Amino acid sequence: MKRIEIYDTTLRDGAQAEDVSFSAEDKLRIARKLDELGVHYIEGGWPGSNPRDLEFFKKASRIRFENARLVAFGSTHRPGVKINNDSNIKALIETKTPAITIFGKTWDFHVTEALKITHEENLELIHNSITYLKKHVDIVFFDAEHFFDGYKSNPKFAMRCLKAAKEAGADCLVLCDTNGGTLPHELRDIVQGVIKTINYPIGIHAHNDSECAVANSLIAVELGASQVQGTINGFGERCGNANLCSVLPDLQIKLGFRCISDEQMKRLREVSRFVNEIANLRHFKRQPFIGDSAFAHKGGIHVSAIRKRPETYEHIRPELVGNSQRVLISDLAGKSNILRKAEEFGIRIEHDSPQLQEIVTTLKELENQGFQFEGAEASFELLMKKALGLHRRFFDLIGFRVIVEKRKEAEEPLSEATIMVRVGGKIEHTAATGNGPVNALDNALRKALDKFYPETRDIKLHDYKVRVLTAGKGTSAKVRVLVESGDDKEKWGTVGVSENIIEASWQALVDSIEYKLLKKEGNGRVSSG
């Protein structure tokens, strides 16, 4: 069974999508999830282009990835600049990643019109850059930018670019459909021509401007490509990149190639939804394989048939990709996912436990209200522990008040929160300010709890996201707040939902603190049956 390398570029190419913006902390969380999924390469960003990517690589260097190699991305050195003086090349090397990917021009139109150099000078840029980088890093991939357009325009020159990269020692020549306009029959002819001419490992990097990125990726692999580049959920500039959430199951389940383990494949839906939550985007329910509607059945004939033999109206078993069958008039999904998450959290619960059905029911009620737990696993762990009797309240709220005051037009508003809580038989009443109402409330809560639970001082609020859930209701709309917190050992996500943004934030902040205190207390591997 042939192994196909999966190269994920969600953090770089995917981050160029409209409405997508990842902080360095976002990228670190996603990178960990991608590593759990089992992808082979994670392209972290372009360190020479912005401070955020530099910060990411600095922090990522301290992470021990189990499955993936981290990749830094950049371009060939600039024309007229000596390679050892090129700031972008220096930045790539300074990341100390085990692999580097550089792109170079292979379309003669770009060489003469964008770079304003000769064909020979472009070939030297490619060769010199790869030769130099190979002295500093074991793995160098060459992204042949605009290769398919370049091949259509001037096949001889496009192939010379590939040969220059090959002779310089590139480990894989990645054919890029950068404009996304190549149709499958064109791609087939071109890839066959490349493979016939050059005996070397090739990869495919397809964009989706013609809705053919997944199809083109599959064809390239069938013809001999050994690496596929793409993004989770198809994120990417313009119409996006090849969607790995479709590419992976198509390659492995449909075509029989080996990409990741079967157990890792079962995490596909989870990872897809996690990335959407971190990007603060709605889940696309009709997304193939992992969308809510991918295995949903409504028609009476269909429902009757799938109850007898699911394959009558399902092309694969949904559990293979972490999804589940749904009958729209009565949802059948839930228990298997709960059991899997319980195992991850170190909680033992029997499959026939009455509490299991209680958790499923509660989960569906909360999801109907707008809660989503993919990016808020700490809140979900608390939900499970509450149902199983493994949770205790560390404090009770008596009340809080938040004031936002603006005294002068040119001055920033002042936020102050007053809070009263009961811990055991003692009442603590205190106040704090912040750079916003939620920050003030967070500061006041932790100030009130400090004397009882000094470990709350370790908690840091890393990220805060708000999504409007009910369109068309203006300022009365229901919102979902996703908070990322952490200490010096780990990070965790919590969630709250309300028509009042302060109340939603309060829910997420309380979950964050309770999660920390429960972990400190060591309330973990307890069984329930």
pLDDT in tens, 133-183: 999 999 999 999 999 999 999 999 999 999 999 999 999 999 999 999 999
Tell me how far apart the alpha carbons of residues 123 and 119 are, in angstroms, rounded to a whole number.
6
Contact 320, 311 (CB under 8 A): no
Tell me how far apart the alpha carbons of residues 369 and 392 are, in angstroms, rounded to a whole number.
24
290: confidence class by pLDDT, cuts 50, 70, 90:
very high
Give Cβ neighbours of residue 355 (< 8 Å, ≥ 6 apart).
Answer: 349, 387, 388, 528
For Cα atoms 6, 11, 17, give the angle at the middle one, nearest 5 degrees.
110
pLDDT in tens, 13-62: 999 999 999 999 999 999 999 999 999 999 999 997 889 999 999 999 99
472: confidence class by pLDDT, cuts 50, 70, 90:
low
Is domain 346-394+453-529 annotated with CATH 3.30.160.340? yes
pLDDT on residue 48:
79
Domains 5-260 and 346-394+453-529 share a fold: no
**Average pLDDT of span 244-273:** 97
Tell me how far apart the alpha carbons of residues 12 and 148 are, in angstroms, rounded to a whole number.
22
Q: Give the DSSP letter of residue 413.
A: P
Higher-confidence residue: 274 or 475? 274
- Can you state the angle between helices 377-387 and 501-521, rounded to 10 degrees? 70
**Average pLDDT of span 316-332:** 76
Which CATH fold topology does 5-260 show? Answer: TIM Barrel (3.20.20)
Q: Give the DSSP letter of residue 426.
A: E
Contact 323, 269 (CB under 8 A): yes
pLDDT in tens, 420-445: 999 999 999 999 999 999 999 999 99
pLDDT on residue 26:
95
Tell me how far apart the alpha carbons of residues 70 and 97 are, in angstroms, rounded to a whole number.
6
What percent of the chain has pLDDT above 90?
Answer: 78
Give Cβ neighbours of residue 524 (< 8 Å, ≥ 6 apart).
Answer: 345, 346, 347
**Is residue 329 scored above 50 in pLDDT?**
no
DSSP string, 209-265: TTS-HHHHHHHHHHHT--EEEEBGGG--STT-B-BHHHHHHIIIIIS--B-S-HHHH
Contact 7, 228 (CB under 8 A): yes
pLDDT in tens, 94-113: 999 999 999 999 999 999 99
Higher-confidence residue: 68 or 412? 68
**Is residue 330 scored above 80 in pLDDT?**
no
pLDDT in tens, 70-81: 999 999 999 999
pLDDT on residue 305:
82
**Is residue 230 scored above 90 in pLDDT?**
yes
What percent of the chain has pLDDT above 70?
Answer: 95
pLDDT on residue 296:
85
pLDDT on residue 295:
92
Tell me how far apart the alpha carbons of residues 248 and 228 are, in angstroms, rounded to a whole number.
9
pLDDT on residue 331:
39
**Is residue 332 scored above 60 in pLDDT?**
no
Contact 47, 54 (CB under 8 A): yes
**Average pLDDT of span 373-391:** 90
Question: Which residue intervals of 372-420 are DSSP H helices?
Answer: 377-387
pLDDT on residue 58:
96
For Cα atoms 293, 257, 226, give the angle at the middle one, nearest 5 degrees.
115
pLDDT in tens, 494-513: 999 999 999 999 999 999 99
Q: pTM for the full model?
A: 0.79
Phi, psi of 387 (to 5 degrees): -65, -30
Phi, psi of 183 (to 5 degrees): -90, 160
| Chain mean pLDDT for the chain | 92
The HSE-up count of residue 371 (CA atoms within 13 Å, CB side) is 21
Task: Identify the sign of the CA torsion 78, 81, 83, 84.
Answer: negative
pLDDT on residue 192:
97
pLDDT on residue 473:
67
pLDDT on residue 480:
95
Instruction: Provide the Cα torsion 206, 209, 212, 213; round to 10°.
Output: 20
pLDDT on residue 360:
85
pLDDT in tens, 130-141: 999 999 999 999
Domain range list for the chain: 5-260, 346-394+453-529, 395-435
375: confidence class by pLDDT, cuts 50, 70, 90:
confident
**Average pLDDT of span 77-88:** 93
Higher-confidence residue: 398 or 364? 398
pLDDT in tens, 185-216: 999 999 999 999 999 999 999 999 999 999 99
pLDDT on residue 466:
94
